[in-house]
Amino acid sequence: MNAKVLRLNKAGTPIAWLNWQETATLVAKDQVIWSLGEVVYTIYGGTSNSGARSRLDLPSIVACDGKIEEKTFVPSLTNSLLFSRDQHVCLYCGQDFPSSELSRDHVTPTSRGGKDIWTNCVTACRRCNNRKGNKTLDEANMELLAVPFVPNRYEFFYLSNHNVLADQMEFLKTRFSKNTKNNLHFQ
């Protein structure tokens, strides 16, 4: 099974995706203070003198004690996360494409002072990106189908895992921004 376990801090904020070995270590060391979700892995150990076999059930979401940081979270902008945010749809023509046929477009070109940040970058097919080139939207006579936004921490954790389990999704989506809940407000 390729499922990852969602690790939270004690306040319920996502911290990391863990493999089953990392999760088992936290459970065995009694560092999990609470958990949610279904059991995704069961690990069986040795047999005791009484004949009972040890068993460790690993839930899909675990929370651990530790310091809580309240700093603003801005995920690194990568093409794979950008394409996931935009649902592999060109935000100019509205067609779905595989990642290999997509590119990052800067709404305000970098040569014109545009920054390489979430709110200035959109997913574009190669044809639309070439058509727009080094122009502004007005100059290229093009429109965006959705407003680019910065994924919050919960959206980032969803976008960064291709195998999010149903109970993990239920937990994460309660904190999605309005943009994500409405599928990017495609017009």
Residue 180 has a pLDDT of 61
Residue 164 has a pLDDT of 94
Residue 148 has a pLDDT of 96
61-83 pLDDT per residue, tens: 999 988 777 778 899 999 999 99
Residue 177 has a pLDDT of 85
How far, in Å, are 62, 133, 184 from residue 142 at the CA level?
46, 11, 18
Q: Could you give the CA distance from residue 19 to residue 23 in angstroms, rounded to a whole number?
A: 6
Residue 173 has a pLDDT of 93
Rounded to two decimals, the pTM is 0.84
In 29-136, which residue ranges form alpha helices assigned H by DSSP?
79-85, 126-132
CB atoms within 10 A of CB 130: 11
* Cβ partners under 8 Å of residue 83, min gap 6: 99, 102, 123
Q: Tens-digit pLDDT profile for the chain (187 aa)?
A: 679 999 999 999 999 999 999 999 999 999 999 999 999 999 998 888 888 898 999 999 999 988 777 778 899 999 999 999 999 999 999 999 999 999 999 999 999 999 999 999 999 999 999 999 999 999 999 999 999 999 999 999 999 998 999 999 999 999 998 766 554 444 4
Domains of the chain in sequence order? 1-68+160-187 (no CATH), 79-140 (1.10.30.50)
Q: Which amino acid would we find at residue 126?
A: R
